């Protein structure tokens, strides 16, 4: 267990917001843009949006969207910081990242609380997210000092060497499901490699990433190295189109990913795309049933099911279909839904009213197409009156599913598991890969040869054997097919935030062919 934050840290946070650790008490008071080491209002913020608390449906405040001028100021400030930061050694950068990780650890409870208030996920899960976040900074702090090139001997004593260099000002654009964690997954390798970053969170979850910006400043990054611009699609477009932006790393939906890639193509900017999925989880009849059931719950119900790599197509071998279904339904019905800041809550509120309605719409459509609701799938109204306008639903398990149903083909991004029976390995692999997505996949079996054979055949970037949705930061994460490309986490991410320079050195005279 990690130490709880000391109380002396709380007033610093309360300086920008009135907050206690209770649902329905937070009020947004300070600006949410961050530029050159300070919170600021955007110079051209003409449009404002409300921020909601999913647990109560309450408006917590308003914030301003940034326009083209503000985006340009953020880029200029990041460019200036890049000049300083990129000249530091890997070890110097490492020390700053370690200090930032330490501060996150110290402020864990406060950040997790804010994440819960803004996203609606349970405080239990938010703490895990924050732990993964500081671990990510620690991991890349460790790699920063290990960035190195290659030495190559050439004829006559000549030689060449390679340098791995930073790209410049990188843009991070994030989704709302893991606001703080996504920002860390992008900024940690970016900064470790010597880049600056401008980050745009989802307009639904604008709050916690500004805390990260403050932490980086406190840890000692140059002012401007990590800036935050708030806004939606238009702000994101200004960022992607800016000529001084060297790279875009995006987490979000496939349609937006396509637009980001098109914009980046115009500027020949490299992109990393972490997009959606409809991942298969294959459960063979020789599995340890209890593990398979727990795996299916982990694969479907974290963060109210709003997880890109969820294994939402649960293929179960026919021999154990009944036993598995019975157990999974029993466990799903026991999930404690309610106030996300209450310690024993395990499922909080979905991100927004429209999203909740969209998820419920998928369930209605599934019923129309012949699926059977085995449990849940209804709105959930907690007893506590202050939560009655929150965006809650009961986690749902669907039986009698077929591969051609919408609930099996499309990403729902909510707590909805579809169970699909299968008979043979060959058949299930064919069906599992029959999707345009390719983010993740999982297999439960006690047969080790089969386990490795199955994951080798799965067309997915992140595969699990006998577990699902664990996320050690040492492991590269990213998709195949329409789920995107590039990798976050692991050593692999360093390649996506750096470029290779080759230096060819002549030790003799120049032999001209002319
Ligand atoms: N593979 C992964 O790691 C993850 C993927 N996702 C995917 O994200 C989706 C849910 O997240 P949303 O925030 O609704 O996705 P989204 O694609 O609507 O938005 C993601 C981000 O892109 C920004 N954006 C929207 N239009 C833009 C444009 N034209 N130019 C530049 N930026 C633009 C948004 O403001 C937001 O910050 C799901 O479909 C899910 O599959 C979500 C989390 C993780
Ligand atoms: C942390 N994990 C593995 C549950 C989800 C990470 C991917 C995402 O942002 O949806």
> 202 in ligand 1 pocket by Cβ < 6 Å?
yes
Q: From the CA of 253, how far away is ligand 1's center (Å)?
A: 4
Q: State which of 177, 205, 277, 489 you would mutate to test the pocket of ligand 2, scoring each by most atoms of that ligand within 8 A of its C-beta.
A: 177
Q: From the CA of 470, how far away is ligand 2's center (Å)?
A: 8
Strand partners, 317: 422
> 482 in ligand 1 pocket by Cβ < 6 Å?
no
Strand partners, 420: 315
From the options 3.40.309.10, 3.40.50.150, 3.30.499.10, 3.40.920.10, give the CATH code of 280-472: 3.40.309.10
Q: State which of 307, 472, 476 you would mutate to test the pocket of ligand 2, scoring each by most atoms of that ligand within 8 A of its C-beta.
A: 307
CA distances from residue 502 to 125, 165, 336 in whole angstroms, order as listed = 45, 10, 57
Q: From the CA of 368, how far away is ligand 2's center (Å)?
A: 31
Give the other-Cβ count within 10 Å of 513's Cβ.
3
Fold of 33-276: Aldehyde Dehydrogenase; Chain A, domain 1 (3.40.605)
Of all protein residues, the one whose alpha carbon is nearest to atom 32 of ligand 1 is 236
Of all protein residues, the one whose alpha carbon is nearest to atom 5 of ligand 2 is 307
Task: State both tokens at 277.
Answer: 């999925």
Active site residue 165: no
Give the other-Cβ count within 10 Å of 190's Cβ.
29
Of all protein residues, the one whose alpha carbon is nearest to atom 23 of ligand 1 is 233
By C-alpha distance, which of 235, 236, 266, 309 is closest to 470? 309
Q: Pick the catalytic residue: 99, 110, 274, 306?
A: 274
Q: What ranges do the domains of the chain cover?
A: 33-276, 280-472
Which listed ligand is nearest to 204 at the C-alpha? 1
By C-alpha distance, which of 347, 276, 294, 321 is closest to 464? 294
Q: How many Å apart are CA 34 and CA 212, to the nearest integer?
A: 10
> 233 in ligand 1 pocket by Cβ < 6 Å?
yes
**Which contiguous run of DSSP H or E holds residue 37?**
none
Q: Is 267 exposed, middle or buried (0-12, 13-18, 19+ CB in 10 A)?
A: middle
Q: State which of 176, 202, 252 you would mutate to test the pocket of ligand 1, scoring each by most atoms of that ligand within 8 A of its C-beta.
A: 252
Per-residue pLDDT of the chain (514 residues; tens, 9 = 90+): 334 433 333 334 443 444 456 999 999 999 999 999 999 999 998 899 999 999 999 999 999 999 999 999 999 999 999 999 999 999 999 999 999 999 999 999 999 999 999 999 999 999 999 999 999 999 999 999 999 999 999 999 999 999 999 999 999 999 999 999 999 999 999 999 999 999 999 999 999 999 999 999 999 999 999 999 999 999 999 999 999 999 999 999 999 999 999 999 999 999 999 999 999 999 999 999 999 999 999 999 999 999 999 999 999 999 999 999 999 999 999 999 999 999 999 999 999 999 999 999 999 999 999 999 999 999 999 999 999 999 999 999 999 999 999 999 999 999 999 999 999 999 999 999 999 999 999 999 999 999 999 999 999 999 999 999 998 999 999 999 999 999 999 999 999 999 999 999 999 999 999 9
DSSP letter at 66 equals P
ipTM: 0.93
Topology agreement, domain 33-276 and domain 280-472: no
Q: How many Å apart are CA 72 and CA 177, to the nearest integer?
A: 27
By C-alpha distance, which of 251, 283, 245 is closest to 264? 245
């Amino acid at each position: 267990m990690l130490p709880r934050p000391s109380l002396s840290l709380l007033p610093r946070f309360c300086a920008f917001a009135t907050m206690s650790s209770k649902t329905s008490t937070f009020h947004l008071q300070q600006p949410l843009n961050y530029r050159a080491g300070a919170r600021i209002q955007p110079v051209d913020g003409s449009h404002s949006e409300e921020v909601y608390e999913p647990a109560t449906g309450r408006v917590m405040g308003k914030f301003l969207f940034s326009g083209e001028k503000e985006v340009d100021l953020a880029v200029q400030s990041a460019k200036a910081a890049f000049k300083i930061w990129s000249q530091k050694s890997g070890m110097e950068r490492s020390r700053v990242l370690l200090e930032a990780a330490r501060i996150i650890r110290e402020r864990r409870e406060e950040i997790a609380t804010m994440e819960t208030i803004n996203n609606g996920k349970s405080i239990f899960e938010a703490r895990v997210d924050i732990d993964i976040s500081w671990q990510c900074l620690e991991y890349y702090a460790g790699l920063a000092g290990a960035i190195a090139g290659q030495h190559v001997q050439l004829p006559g004593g000549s030689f060449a060497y390679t340098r791995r260099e930073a790209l410049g000002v990188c843009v991070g654009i994030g989704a709302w499901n893991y606001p703080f964690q996504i920002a860390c997954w992008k900024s940690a390798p970016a900064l470790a490699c010597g880049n600056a970053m401008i980050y745009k969170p989802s307009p639904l979850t604008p709050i916690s990433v500004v805390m990260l910006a403050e932490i980086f400043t406190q840890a000692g990054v140059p002012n401007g190295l990590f800036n935050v611009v708030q806004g939606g699609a238009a702000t994101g477009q200004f960022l992607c189109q800016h000529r001084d932006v060297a790279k875009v790393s995006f987490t979000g939906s496939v349609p937006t990913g396509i637009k980001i890639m098109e914009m980046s193509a115009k500027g020949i900017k490299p992109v990393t795309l972490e997009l959606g999925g409809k991942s298969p989880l294959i459960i063979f009849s020789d599995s340890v049933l209890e593990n398979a059931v727990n795996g299916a719950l982990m694969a479907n119900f974290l963060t109210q099911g709003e997880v890109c790599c969820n294994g939402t197509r649960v293929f179960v071998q026919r021999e154990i279909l009944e036993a598995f279904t019975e157990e999974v339904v029993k466990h799903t019905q026991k999930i404690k839904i309610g106030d996300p800041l209450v310690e024993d809550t395990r499922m909080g509120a979905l991100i927004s009213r429209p999203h909740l309605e969209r998820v419920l719409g998928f369930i209605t459509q599934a019923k129309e197409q012949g699926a059977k609701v085995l449990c849940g799938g209804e709105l959930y109204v907690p007893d506590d009156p202050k939560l009655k306008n929150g965006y809650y639903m009961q986690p749902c398990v669907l039986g009698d599913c077929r591969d051609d149903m919408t609930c099996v083909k499309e990403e729902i991004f909510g707590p909805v598991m579809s169970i699909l029976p299968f008979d043979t390995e060959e058949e299930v692999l064919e069906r599992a890969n029959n999707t345009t997505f390719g983010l993740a996949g999982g297999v439960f079996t006690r047969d080790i040869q089969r386990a490795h054979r199955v994951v080798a055949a799965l067309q997915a970037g992140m595969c699990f054997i006998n577990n699902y949705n664990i996320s050690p930061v040492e492991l590269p994460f990213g998709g195949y097919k329409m789920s995107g490309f590039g990798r976050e986490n692991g050593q692999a991410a360093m390649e996506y935030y750096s470029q290779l320079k080759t230096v060819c050195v002549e030790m003799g005279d120049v032999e001209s062919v002319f």
